[in-house]
């Protein structure tokens, strides 16, 4: 199974991925945890370029760089792990590009889908958890981490467009994207996600 976690910066994705990983591994599953942009050496270099506050780039260049990192990541990390029978948990994926570059930067969802079509090569998540927190709470978590990266410092209006983009994607694809209210405790949220994963696994076993 391929599971992705999405949401604004500071929504607690990393914590939830770790908690789900622990739960699945305790149940005897093999789990691969990875993130975008990144996940292997070259993609991490592209990540550094993208997040460096000193990098100046056109939105289209930005979209292509995220897609380039993704092409590498899909082929060298995600697909091989899925083929080995592992459950893949990925911190951000295609939906982030649709929300940040498509809606946030204003390139439009269709343009960003087109740019990414070959990069993802049909490898789409079975389930996506969209972690939603009130804006101030997310801003507080990001603030507490210290320096903001290039994307985080793109401004309030940009972040509101990204958030609205995520909402639109979730409304449009309710069968895949589950919006999770992430304002509770980490344990509560983890329980909600684990219950959903268990349901999905039952469904998958039923199919097999
Ligand atoms: P992330 O690793 O989630 O950052 P952090 O660890 O600081 O939460 O993602 C890095 C940034 O890249 C984040 O601000 C969102 C952005 N991003 C895009 O704009 N488009 C994309 O396709 C992806 C994957 C991330």
CB burial of residue 60 (10 Å; 0-12, 13-18, 19+): middle
pLDDT digit string, tens, across residues 108-126: 999 999 999 999 999 999 9
Atom of ligand 1 nearest to the CA of 10: 8
pLDDT at 157: 92
Q: 7, 86 in Cβ contact below 8 A?
A: no
The pLDDT value recorded for residue 208 is 62
Provide residues with CB under 6 Å of ligand 1: 9, 35-37, 51, 66, 91-92, 96-97, 100-101, 149, 151-152
Residue nearest to atom 6 of ligand 1 (CA): 9
As given in the structure block, the two tokens for residue 60 are 């289209």
The answer for residues whose C-beta is within 8 angstroms of residue 79's C-beta and 6 or more apart is 121, 123
- DSSP for 42-58 reads HHHHHHHHHH-TT----
Measure 30 CA to ligand 1 centroid, in angstroms.
Answer: 26
pLDDT at position 151, please?
A: 80
CB atoms within 10 A of CB 3: 22
Q: Whose CA is nearest to atom 4 of ligand 1?
A: 9
155 pLDDT band, cuts 50/70/90, is confident
| C-alpha 118, offset from chain centre | 18
Q: For residues 170-182, give the mean pLDDT.
A: 97
């Amino acid at each position: 199974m391929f599971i992705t976690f999405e949401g604004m910066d500071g929504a607690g994705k990393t914590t939830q991925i770790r908690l789900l990983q622990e739960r699945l591994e305790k149940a005897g599953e093999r789990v691969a945890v990875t993130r975008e942009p990144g996940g292997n050496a070259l993609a991490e270099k592209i990540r550094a370029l993208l997040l460096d506050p000193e990098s100046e780039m056109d939105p289209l260049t930005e979209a292509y760089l995220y897609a380039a990192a993704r092409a590498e990541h899909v082929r060298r990390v995600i697909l091989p792990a899925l083929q080995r029978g592992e459950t893949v948990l990925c911190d951000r994926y295609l939906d982030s590009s649709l929300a940040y570059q498509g809606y946030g930067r204003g390139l439009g969802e269709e343009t960003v889908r087109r740019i990414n079509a070959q990069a993802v090569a049909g490898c789409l998540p079975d389930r996506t958890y969209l972690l939603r927190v009130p804006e101030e709470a997310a801003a507080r978590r990001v603030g507490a981490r210290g320096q903001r990266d290039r994307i985080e410092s793109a401004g309030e209006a940009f972040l509101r467009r990204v958030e609205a983009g995520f909402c639109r994607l979730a409304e449009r694809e309710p069968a895949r994207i589950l919006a999770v209210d992430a304002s509770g405790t980490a344990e509560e949220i983890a329980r909600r996600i684990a219950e959903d994963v268990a349901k999905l696994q039952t469904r998958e076993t039923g199919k097999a």
